[in-house]
């Protein structure tokens, strides 16, 4: 399963980066191959200073070895080894009229001291972080997510949408990071789902990513904006950074397993502001966004 899924992820990485370069028209992804001393490695691809994308990364990794003590305590195991592979992407467009997007699809295995597989699961999701809210874009993104989920189980979209709303929540700000999407984790063998079924589901979501995001970029990339719009984008980017460094489990897992720091922190935007006690004008588009972020919304039924 791990070889099959990692091969899929590498092919998906190729598809996504090629499509994004075609949309940007100016910048190309730079590839960085790396190895982890404890075992495994990855393929990091970063795009910067493009016509559309100010910074973005589409990374694959396949790592293995001794599960660190902190993670053994987290999982409640002793003397365990692990294998993990995944594709993680974050795209920060230059225009504040375009949303940041994050997506991740991953597979994890755990082994006992004899090297026997004792647990395995899939996880992943995708979520949208706009700076100016176009409701039809939010509906489009969630509709694609729902369509992909519905092919496998009609309960998946509402369940994984709620998990996304709960996960991408900046508790110290009491607001959502963005308008959500899907988040699923610890997807294991059950009476209804085999690991083969979870593979099919996870790859279905991965294959739907470009359909969920690129039409939004094409529709909004020519909209004019001002420096005031840009300032708001950079203030909201600060909230994005706060979530990734304070709450995100993937970031914390990477740091605790001696992951490659440049790949882990590629999700951070290049230009950010922390303006003291910034409050948008009542009735403004900025205030409208904040009101949505205070309470998760049902975008599609």
Give the model's confidence band at 71: pLDDT under 50 very low, under 70 low, under 90 confident, else very high.
confident
Average pLDDT value for residue range 233-242: 96
Query: For the chain, first and last CA: distance in Å?
Result: 34
- pLDDT at residue 252 tops 90: no
What are the residues whose beta carbons fall under 8 Å from the beta carbon of 205, sequence distance 6 or more?
105, 124, 125, 126, 145, 148, 149, 182
pLDDT grade, residue 216 (50/70/90)?
very high
Q: What is the predicted pLDDT for the residue at 55?
A: 97
User: Does 259 score more than 80 pLDDT?
Assistant: no
| Set 92, 102, 140, 142: catalytic member | 102
- Output the six-digit token pair for 35: 């190895």
Q: What is the pLDDT of residue 50?
A: 98
pLDDT-derived band at 258 (thresholds 50, 70, 90) equals confident
Buried/exposed code over 177-216 (b: 16+ C-beta within 10 A; e: otherwise)? bbbbbbbbeebeeeeebebebbbebbbebbebbbebbbeb
Query: Which pLDDT score is estimated for 253?
Result: 78
User: Is it the case that residue 224 has pLDDT exceeding 90?
Assistant: yes
Q: What DSSP character marks residue 130?
A: -
Find the range with the poorest average confidence among 62-76, 78-92, 97-111, 162-176: 62-76
Please give the pLDDT value at position 89. 97
Give pLDDT, residue 85: 97
Is a pLDDT exceeding 90 seen at residue 251?
no
Q: Which CATH superfamily is domain 2-293 in?
A: Coproporphyrinogen III oxidase, aerobic (3.40.1500.10)
The pLDDT > 90 percentage for the chain reads 86
Q: Quick check: 70 pLDDT over 80? A: no
pLDDT, tens only, 9-31: 999 999 999 999 999 999 999 99
Known catalytic membership, residue 102: yes
* pLDDT at residue 261, rounded to an integer: 87
Lowest mean pLDDT: which of 2-6, 80-84, 194-198?
Answer: 80-84
Strand partners, 187: 122
| Mean pLDDT across the chain | 95
pLDDT band with cut points at 50, 70 and 90 for residue 73: confident
Q: Taking the domains of the chain in order of start, what are their residue ranges?
A: 2-293
For residue 92, list its beta bridge partners: 55
- In this structure, the strands spanning 53-66 and 81-93 are antiparallel
């Amino acid at each position: 399963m791990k070889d099959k899924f990692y091969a899929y992820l590498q092919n998906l990485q190729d598809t996504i980066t090629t499509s994004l370069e075609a949309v940007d028209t100016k910048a190309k992804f730079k590839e960085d191959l790396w190895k982890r001393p404890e075992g495994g490695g990855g393929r990091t691809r970063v795009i910067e200073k493009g016509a559309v994308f100010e910074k973005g990364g589409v990374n694959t990794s396949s790592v293995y070895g001794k599960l660190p003590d902190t993670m053994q305590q987290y999982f409640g195991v002793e003397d365990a080894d692990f294998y993990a592979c995944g594709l993680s992407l974050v795209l920060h467009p230059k225009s504040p009229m375009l949303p940041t997007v994050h997506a991740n699809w991953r597979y994890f295995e755990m082994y006992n001291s004899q090297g026997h597989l004792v647990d395995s699961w899939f996880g992943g999701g995708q979520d949208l972080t706009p700076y100016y809210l176009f409701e039809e874009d939010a509906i489009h993104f969630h509709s694609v997510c729902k369509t992909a989920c519905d092919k496998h189980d009609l309960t998946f979209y509402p369940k994984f949408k709620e998990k996304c709303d709960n996960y991408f929540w900046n508790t110290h700000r009491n607001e959502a990071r963005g308008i959500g999407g899907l988040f699923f984790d610890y997807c294991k063998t059950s009476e209804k789902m085999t690991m083969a079924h979870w593979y099919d589901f996870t790859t279905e979501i991965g294959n739907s990513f470009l359909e969920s995001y690129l039409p939004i970029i094409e529709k909004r990339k020519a909209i004019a904006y001002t420096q005031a719009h840009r300032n708001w984008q950079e203030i909201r980017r600060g909230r994005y950074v706060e979530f990734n460094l304070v709450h995100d489990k993937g970031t914390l897992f990477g740091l605790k397993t001696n992951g490659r720091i440049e790949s882990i922190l590629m999700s951070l935007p290049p230009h950010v502001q922390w303006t003291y006690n910034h409050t948008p004008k009542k009735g403004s588009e900025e205030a409208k966004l904040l009101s949505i972020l205070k309470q998760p919304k049902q975008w599609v039924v």
